[in-house]
Amino acid sequence: MSDFPFLIAMIAVPAVGAAVVAALPRGRDLLAKQVALGVSLVVLLLAVLTTLAFDVDGERFQLTTAVSWIPDFGSEFALGVDGIALVMLLLIGVLVPLVVAASWHEADAGSRPARVFFAWLLLLEAMMVGVFAATDVLLFYVFFEAMLVPMYFLIGSFGGPRRQYAAVKFFVYSLVGGLVMLASVIGLYVVSTSQLGEGTFAFDALRQLDIDPDVQKLLFLGFFIAFAIKAPLVPFHTWLPDSGAEAPIGGSVLLVGVLDKVGTFGFLRYCLPLFPDASRSFAPFVLVLAVVGILYAALLAMGQSDMKRLVSYTSISHFGFIALGIFAFTTEAATGAVLYMVNHGLATGLLFLVVGMLISRGGSRQIRDYGGVAAKAPLLAGAFLVAGLASLALPGTNSFVSEFLVLIGAFPERPVFTVLATIGIILAALYVLLMYQRTMHGPARGVLLQEDPAEPLPADPLPSGGGATATAARTAPHRTLRVLDLSRRELAVVAPLVVLIIALGVYPQPLIDLIEPAVVATLGDLGAPGGTDR
């Protein structure tokens, strides 16, 4: 089974599926949805089979494929996975079918046909697989830039009222970061030419180079800036709240759940092994950015009235924990960081999906327009609660194990940064629970709640008492929120994520077993304690 080209298939299947969906005639949107769902389930199956074919005790990179691509530049279409890349492919395989199902009706509301939405979604899946599976640095760069295109169109054509602004901001930030990285990619090629006699972009060859420490710093910065924008770390973060808020819910799930992980994945895959001296030199600076991001984004999240912007800011705070784990340079912390990447994708993916389901019922992203939803939609409220508790890393949920490993692994090496980071845990409890309490419990605020759409509305839904509030309510347009509980389709979307959140909170060892050998090998390239050069 290990001889089967799983990685090429995981790129080719959604790419071909995207072309098929895009070529469907007008009016065949239902067929487009069915094809997209079927293709995404095939990719999930391939991800599972790839995991079964992966030998935890085997070579660092497995299931490798290399085809001559640009021989004049020593570049190959080379793919392979270690444990870190493999768990990200599993995350992609799980999230995309759920996003397709969750977007079944939402895609119809865009300015373009629904088949266009699902074609871009499948193309994005192919690009995401490619960026995590590439073992040629130039090929990685191509996928890194190419995946911007489908996300740009998903935001710009199917997003919220400010979608064009958010799409352009996302594209410009990411493109500029990618161009800076391209300069470092070219620099690596030049260094490889001088040391090996011929240039190469192969990761295994590049990590054997003996690069001057001063040159390392320059090359490191090119990669770091691109990855810090993508992650994002403060102060490179300003594009994410706009993009996360304006993207369609399915786009937001993949943007925060997967695309942003390319940044933290890049730190581990490229910055640490290729530039070990520079990584150690810049580590205190990166740790400052990580802790500032944890606290600053958490405080901003507490002040948000828009639910989607709030969830976006929580992700920036969580990425600070991931960066802390990576640049602590210990096996426990780095393993926790990679596990955090997966668990954050599951927890925040569920949170975005549930928020989207609530918005589809109420027609508003504002927290103040909701209240008392749990009494009318207990299943929706329950899914919201699980997602919120996972986001604040409650023991028993998947995020707790990740956060615990990061903190316990970072404290011996970086005690000050670790102690400051723990303040973010307290703030996370505040912003998550306040959002849940204000939307799910208490009296209705700003809207009326009805369980049955056919039930007549009360004659006078005004707040008690007089004054400016009552006067404003009488003059404002009448707004109603008809809250229905989760449909069978929506239950099928949220149930797998709820199960995974609880299951990985109780027993995360299978993922840890996949991740830890790759982390040890990465730290071995860095020369950190506990690492081995495999």
Contact 225, 173 (CB under 8 A): no
Q: Rounded to two decimals, what is the model's pTM?
A: 0.91
Length of the chain: 534
**Nearest CA-CA partner of 36 in 118, 123, 147, 99:** 118
C-alpha span between 307 and 271 (Å, rounded): 34
Helix then strand then coil, in percent of the chain rounded to 5, is 70, 5, 25
**Angle at CA of residue 426, ends 421 and 431, nearest 5°:** 115
C-alpha span between 274 and 279 (Å, rounded): 9
Query: Please, what's the largest Cα pairwise distance for the chain?
Result: 84
Q: Where are the alpha helices (DSSP H) in 233-330?
A: 239-246, 249-254, 261-266, 272-274, 276-302, 307-327
C-alpha span between 281 and 218 (Å, rounded): 12
Contact 237, 109 (CB under 8 A): no
pLDDT in tens, the chain (534 residues): 567 899 999 999 999 999 999 999 988 889 999 999 999 999 999 999 999 999 999 999 999 999 989 988 889 999 999 999 999 999 999 999 999 999 998 776 656 788 999 999 999 999 999 999 999 999 999 999 999 999 999 999 998 899 999 999 999 999 999 999 999 999 999 999 999 988 899 999 999 999 999 999 999 999 999 999 998 999 999 999 999 999 999 999 999 999 999 999 999 999 999 999 999 999 999 999 999 999 999 999 999 999 999 999 999 999 999 999 999 999 999 999 999 999 999 999 999 999 999 998 888 899 988 988 998 899 999 999 999 999 999 999 999 999 999 999 999 999 999 999 999 999 999 999 999 999 999 876 654 444 444 444 333 333 333 333 333 333 334 444 556 889 999 999 999 999 999 999 999 999 999 999 999 999 998 876 555 544
- Which residue has tokens 């090629």? 189
Locate the domains of the chain by residue range. Answer: 280-453+477-534
- Which residue has tokens 């469907």? 24
